[in-house]
Structure 1
Amino acid sequence: MKQLSPETFAQLLIWGSVLLGLIAIAALFLGKLRGSAQQSEDSASQLLSNLQDLRQEGDISDTEYRTIKAVLGAQLQQRAKDDPDKA
């Protein structure tokens, strides 16, 4: 069995470090993407809650509330169809 030369070992160490660094960057990037997706879902429920508050305060009519709620629901359903992993 051949032994590794010091130069080959150094290159192996450098490229291994580069690979680990790229994996760490990818993991951070994916974590941010997942966080923003969760934040979008939270913002949709917050929007619906705010919409209910506006209706209760009389700032929008029941008809406007139902229309906006229907449009928001349709958009959320379309997102769920486009990305089944989130559903």
Structure 2
Amino acid sequence: MTNPIPVSAPDYRHPGDTSVTIYSDIGKDGRALNCRVQPSPNPEYNAEALRYCQNAVYKPAYKNGKPAVERNRITVMKFHQKD
């Protein structure tokens, strides 16, 4: 993921910018599988990153012209606290 996804969350209690690293596999259908996050200091952001991954759909990888499972995709989500 290149661009951060804007998240408006006034109930987040930890100010400042935070990044959460997501590890997942991408299935042949493009759906994210085996989602896991490297914990950040903000549990709310960790939960949001995991929820995003569990609902994400990507363009699947191809091998020999056929969809293939992509292992260990790394995605970094950046959260920016709104003032």
Superposition TM-score, scaled by structure 2 size? 0.26
**Larger helix percent:** 1
| Greater relative CO, 1 or 2 (CA 8 Å, sep 6+) | 2
TM-score (structure 1 length as normaliser): 0.25
Q: Which has the higher strand share?
A: 2
